[in-house]
């Protein structure tokens, strides 16, 4: 039953975050999806057994929520199989910490003091928050599947992200599950088995350890909702608008020809510019935005190609005719001999010049950048075993682009590429460097699943709230949308359909930076510090007392 509980909890977590059945996730499941897992760890007989439960939970939750990785070309055994293994091992380690803070005894020697038992739900929530933080940062960071995403479409709940980041919600939801797991062991008459012994809860007084955690949870939930109502009643000031044309050409760039993809993008752009005045107070857009990887050839070196192609509607003559700049994804080659190229966003002027170029800095691990690829043994392994031969060169500079926004002022914007808009630190740096808004270019069409598109969107949505700025997303197949500074959706195109979104996008800027913009991930850092202190004091106390 314990192992079944871990598996069921993994499935619950996958169902709580955005999925095929509920594109924006399940709020209800978010509040208790981890409870069966936490309860199972309380019943584990050893750290080895807890690790096995953790492995099963991690492998199941990751595979069930990110199963669409199977469509990543011919690398399913690596994108799904290897990542499920890695997350299983990672959760096996996390399970050890979860068992330690939820145990009735320290190291099997000293009973946990009654007062300390009252803090078990808080300690459990802290461990989970630190875990979700660690899995979301660094080169191997993959901020998908966070329990907090169950609340991504609840405006009153997500407003605290400007103070705590997404991890404030992770803590609250993990605390809810921890309180439920604690309460299960306090129900009078309940029988359960631990260390081979059948135990039975006999008195209602056993509810006491769950009450402090429940009280803290209720208080945090109430404060979160009150703060959400307050922030939504005082939205971030709008200091102007910029007319944008976002193009979603919905092309499988791996299976459709280069000219077909380019032709569809130009066709939609022409149609959008001709109809723009029907959607806007401006006669034409200040900028046309395409998604990542629309241009497959380096623009600078193949300028003559784009003068003539696509044959029935050439790109550069179209830009010159309309007088509108284009922001699009394209490779930029830095070394032709070794073909070292970056996955970049380029701002092309109407006369065909490159005004700005930003190279993606955070790669998809082992897909866009491979550690130690400079060594022959790694090259052979990736080419002969994995079947992957090549990677992008990563950028090192945050480029804030500029253009006239249509009302006599200048728009400054950052352009995170692909899943870079899921990383809070990277997006926050663009704002530190002076960006007014973010424009994300992404191509998730290879995933072939709406849940994959929406999971990315849910993660990115928090960047707007954290910084109280507008986030614009122009995606190949979705989610193409404009998100305001409160996380609300101002406009969106249907998934996996071609079309364009013409909008006067607001520029929202508050007078002062948010708490999160200033302090960053202070909450998970505080949780880590508190857990470290608890573990040290617990182990020190164990050594001072003789074994009984």
Question: Pairing state of beta strands 238-248 and 489-492?
Answer: unpaired
Residue located via tokens 């991930």: 521
Backbone angles phi, psi at 493, to 5 degrees: -100, 150
Residue 379 annotated as catalytic: no
Residue located via tokens 């973010």: 438
Task: Calculate the alpha carbon distances from 303 to 306, 338, 348, 502, 516 in Å.
Answer: 5, 22, 11, 27, 43
State the catalytic residue, choosing from 292, 453, 466, 486. 292
343, β-bridge pairs: 331
SS (H, E, C) 62-102: HHHHCHHHHHCCCCHHHHHHHHHHHHHHHHHHHHHHHHHHH
Distance CA 288, CA 50 (A): 53
Distance CA 117, CA 97 (A): 15
Q: Give the DSSP per-residue string, 483-540.
A: E-TTS-EEEEPPTT--EEEEEEEEEE--SS--HHHHH-SHHHHHHHHHHHHHHHHHHH
Assigned token pair, 351: 């006369």
Assigned token pair, 283: 């006669």
State the catalytic residue, choosing from 182, 360, 450, 527. 360
Distance CA 10, CA 53 (A): 10
Distance CA 506, CA 484 (A): 8
Could you tell me the sign of the dihedral formed by the alpha carbons of 60, 63, 66, 67, in that order? Answer: negative
Q: Where are the alpha helices (DSSP H) in 390-521?
A: 424-432, 450-467, 515-519
Assigned token pair, 76: 């399913």
State the catalytic residue, choosing from 132, 135, 264, 418. 418
Distance CA 48, CA 58 (A): 15
Going by C-alpha positions, the residue among 29, 46, 42, 142 that lies closest to residue 90 is 142
Do the Cβ atoms of 155 and 486 come closer than 8 Å?
yes
Assigned token pair, 320: 């010159």
**Residues noted as catalytic:** 292, 360, 418
């Amino acid at each position: 039953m314990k192992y079944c509980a871990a598996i069921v909890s993994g499935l619950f977590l996958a169902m709580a975050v955005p999925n095929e059945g509920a594109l924006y996730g399940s709020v209800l499941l978010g509040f208790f999806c981890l409870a069966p897992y936490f309860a199972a760890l309380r019943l584990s007989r050893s750290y080895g057994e807890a690790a096995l439960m953790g492995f099963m939970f991690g492998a199941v939750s990751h595979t069930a929520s990110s199963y669409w990785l199977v469509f990543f070309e011919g690398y399913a055994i690596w994108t799904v199989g290897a990542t499920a293994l890695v997350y299983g091992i990672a959760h096996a380690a996390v399970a050890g910490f979860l068992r330690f803070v939820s145990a009735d005894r320290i190291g099997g020697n000293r009973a946990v003091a009654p007062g300390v038992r009252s803090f078990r739900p808080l300690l459990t929530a802290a461990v989970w928050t630190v875990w979700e933080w660690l899995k979301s940062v660094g080169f191997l960071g993959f901020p998908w599947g966070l329990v907090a995403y169950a609340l991504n479409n609840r405006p009153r709940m997500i407003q605290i992200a400007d103070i705590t980041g997404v991890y404030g919600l992770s803590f609250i939801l993990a605390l809810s599950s921890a309180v439920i797991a604690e309460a299960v062991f306090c129900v009078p008459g309940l029988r359960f088995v631990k260390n081979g012994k059948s135990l039975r809860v006999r008195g209602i007084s056993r509810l006491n350890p769950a009450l402090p955690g429940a009280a803290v949870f209720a208080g945090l939930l109430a404060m979160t909702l009150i703060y959400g109502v307050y922030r939504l009643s005082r939205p971030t000031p709008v200091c102007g608008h910029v007319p944008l044309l976002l193009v979603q050409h919905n092309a499988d760039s791996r299976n459709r020809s280069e000219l077909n993809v380019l032709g569809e993008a130009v066709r939609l752009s022409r149609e959008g510019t001709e109809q723009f005045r029907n959607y806007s107070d401006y006669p034409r857009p200040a900028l046309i935005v395409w998604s990542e990887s629309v241009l497959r050839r380096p623009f600078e070196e193949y300028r003559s190609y784009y003068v003539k192609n696509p044959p029935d509607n050439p790109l550069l003559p179209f830009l010159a005719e309309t007088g509108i700049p284009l922001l699009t994804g394209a490779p930029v080659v830095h070394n032709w001999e070794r073909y070292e190229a970056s996955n970049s966003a380029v701002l092309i002027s109407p006369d065909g010049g490159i005004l700005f170029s930003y190279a993606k800095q955070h790669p998809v691990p082992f897909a866009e950048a491979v550690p130690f690829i400079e060594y022959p043994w790694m090259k052979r392994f990736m080419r002969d075993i994995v079947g992957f031969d090549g990677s992008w060169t990563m950028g090192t500079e945050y480029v804030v682009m500029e253009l006239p926004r249509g009302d006599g002022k200048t728009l400054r914007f950052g352009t995170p590429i692909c899943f870079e808009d899921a990383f809070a630190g990277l997006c926050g740096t663009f704002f530190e460097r002076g960006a007014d808004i973010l424009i994300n270019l992404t191509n998730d069409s290879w995933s072939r699943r709406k849940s994959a598109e929406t999971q990315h969107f849910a993660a990115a949505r928090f960047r707007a709230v954290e910084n109280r700025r507008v986030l614009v997303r122009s995606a190949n197949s979705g989610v193409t949308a404009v998100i305001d500074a409160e996380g609300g959706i101002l406009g969106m195109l249907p998934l996996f359909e071609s079309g364009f979104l013409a909008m006067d996008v607001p520029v929202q800027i508050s007078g002062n930076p948010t708490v999160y913009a200033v302090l960053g991930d202070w909450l998970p850092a505080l949780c880590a510090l508190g857990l470290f202190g608890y573990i040290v004091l617990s182990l020190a106390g164990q050594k001072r007392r003789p074994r009984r």
